Structure 1
Amino acid sequence: MNVDMFLQNLQSVQDRYEFTLRDMWDMDETWVTTVQKPVKVVPRKGSKQIEKRTSAERGTLVTVAIVVSAIGNAVPPFLVFPRVHFRDHFLINSPLGSSGAANPSGWMKESDFVGFLDHFVKHTKCSKERPVLLLLDNHESHLSIDGLNYCSTMTIYDIPGIISTALTIAVTPANILAGFKTVGISPFNRDIFQEEDFMGAYVTDRPLPNDLSEMQAYQENGSPGMLNIYSSEATDKTTNQAGSPSTLRDAQLEGMNELVAPNMAISHVNEPTPSTSGISTQKKNKLELNTRSSKTTT
């Protein structure tokens, strides 16, 4: 099937551009290592024991990219060396016109392939007015966005054609049904997600404080914006136990003021300050006033 698709695409491109034999190029890569391993051993006839000598080293490889045309011409090789930075002296004694790149692995990578394309254009003199056909395998380094952009300039009018090709591959009944099934929508599955599915969110998931001690711990850790919504009864109960009036509410409002816009502020009406006995000052004053009134009447 892949062979039929290749021949179909080749015929389509050939019909469109009508390439001549000198404009059809084929590129392939091979590697050469510093340690050679013998494939065959030729012993003396009649030998009972045959020895094989080879190096225990793994060796260091260099990738060599070679391009040839349909009329027998060739482009000087492009070499990829296993080094961090490329130096011109790497190409000493190489064929005339050779070029190269370097990366730690020594294999062809996406950035190196763009350098190869520049080397290929330099020697073939191809241009937008005189395009050529370059045949490649489907290695991932040959399919980078930078490489495609180097070979052709994409416009907004090319996008519909790209979408048309992608949709026929991606939007299939099997993929659509699998999408609904994966999230538990159809068929309905309430328990589709397990605890381990949320492990990635635990890095930023922080529980809200439930009492004054947790709020103070968050503030000491540099997180005054962590708030909790308390009911009025729970707030009064907590502040009464702590013995500091409106401490928790003030801490909440201070943290909320840091989250709103600068020209906005959150305020509250000061409520009667609770005493340590749990009786508000207003009620205590009223009780004292009633006591004095009863004494005056007596």
Structure 2
Amino acid sequence: MLSRYQQKSDRKQFTSETQMTKAKEYIAAGYSIKAAAQFVGACEATLRKRLKERTISLNLGRFKSSFSEDEETLIKLIKIIDDTFYGVSRKQLMAIVYRYAEHNNIFHNFNNEKKIVGEKWIRDFLVKYRLTLQRTEKFSGSVLKFNKVQFNKFHNNLKKILEENPELNASRIYNMDESNISTIFKLPKTVSSKCKHLESKVVSLNRIQSLTAVCCLSAAGYYVPPALIFPKKMYKPEFCKSAPQNTLGMASDCGSMNSELFVSWLKHFTKYVTVSQDRPVLLILDNHISHCSLSAINYCQENGIILLCLPPYASYKLQPLEIACFGSLKKFMTEECDRLISQHSDRSITICQVGEIFRTAYHKTISIDKAINAFRDTGIFPQSPSVFREEDFTPVSFTKRQLAKHPEDNGLQRAFAVESFFCNGGSVVATQRAFRARFEIPPHRLVPGRNSILSWVNSFQECGSVAKPRNGRQRNSRTPEAVERVRQSILLAIKENRCLTVRQLVENLGIPKTTLSRILVEDLGITRVCPKKSISEALKQNGKDFQNEVTKDALESNQKDSECHTASCEPPVECSGTTIHSSCNGAPSSPNQTEINSCEDIEIKTDVYADETMIDDSRVQGFKRELEADKILGSADDNGKLMYLIQWKGTDAVDMVSASEANAKCPQIVIRFYEDRITWKRTKNKIVVDEFS
């Protein structure tokens, strides 16, 4: 991904063998290295360096990354992860991009120690592909349990997968989950009298160690051999010596699942389950961070494993293993642990004995009927979302607000509120009702209050805008409105045949001198104007648009005033400083051409053809034309009074109309004009926040 830095030097142009060959031939002809560098268009220092090293640099800078070629594929992968695992955090995204580059052998300069990409790279990546980071709404744990919104989303995804893959039956749908197992088990309660002293039992002579058991079952009752993860640096075969047959033994620092071990388990899964691209398998699992890895997703796509993630905080309701296996498994393990302690009271349970305890409890737990009933009770297979009643979702019914559709920014809300206020005769209550219906806001959500609506209306009536006022001075006054004001001032000066200095423009328009100079040169195509020279001498040859506009305006003035064809204008008044003026002497040579002569008799001729239908009667302007307004082209400040440049329907005529008059007669067109020009400043964390005031 490219950086925002713009290269200022031209050294990168010297990167071909052809340039090097021409430079050598030029030097061999007797010219100097400096002359050869100018001839081939390269830097002299670069040419000397390349001649000394006898090499050609194929790229500019230290790094040449080809990552941009695979960004489209990366975007598709990120969207798949987002849909499968209910969102991706910024830190997870940074790790996913790094793993993607490593997996595809893409050259990069990311952090190899932390194995993540840089903050600047990920920020530019989000901006380029219009991705945002939205802060998750905060709720308590009891509220988030078994959310109906996420429950419906899960069943919609399940339904879509089953429709796209009709070959998925009970034997092709699996559920996988992990459960924590400790070397110290909870002892069962014993019956005794109230006054009797409780007996003590030795549980462990060592520190507590936690293991992880990984189980998997299908909707047809088939159980994949389990896996045990031990809290060790290295795995030893004696750990699973007495475990169930074909048990996969693994080791990690904390005894829990991670991304690498999950890929190892997927390989163990494909070893005992027939799966391919032609015969896919659906694997249902929770959204643990270890499951969200690039290597695991790539492995599943290559081997025909379809991943479906359960909603967050809903495993105790939707996880078949939680219902059919883990509860009974821990109960039987506790009984087996109590039996071993009773037989050997002077010994503690070690990590090597866990496999034997797990085998006995696992064989008592697994049952075909339990697996089939678990999938049916959770509504996964056969799919039946109606297995849960509405009472199960009552505590979290208000989280439906996630389904409410909101506009992209508050500018649309404000504009609609102002328009609805005028349409409803100034009723705030009617405006609030229309606002709630327009943006589909649920009854429990708040709508803009009375003070907010009235403040937006007052702001619209005063300045013709509902946008928030910008604090501080204006950073850049070179706006389209400012360019149009300068253009109109120059055209007016030419029409009235008077001189106009840059100083006068600065004082009259309130535009800084540097900004005015850039408008004249870059926007209007006028070169730097010297003293005692007219604007006709300052116009560039390539500034055809402005030349045509000046000539056309002068032609219309000549056609309206017949005396102007024979009378000569007075000579310009000498002014100190930079002067912008125009004088017209003589009549045009033809009806289709107009001559604008300066005091040095410099003549500019253009082939602008005047159309009589375009000539407008200046005595009738604004809404006195009795025409319907089409759109607003721009706005200007006339001595502190806001003016709009309005174009009328059915004609090309335009007029400057005051904002107060336009707000009263065509408020919807004014609102549309500001909606197209509203800009919003992005927050630092790029958080989408809905606020009304």
Alignment TM-score, normalising by the size of structure 1: 0.49
TM-score (norm 2): 0.22
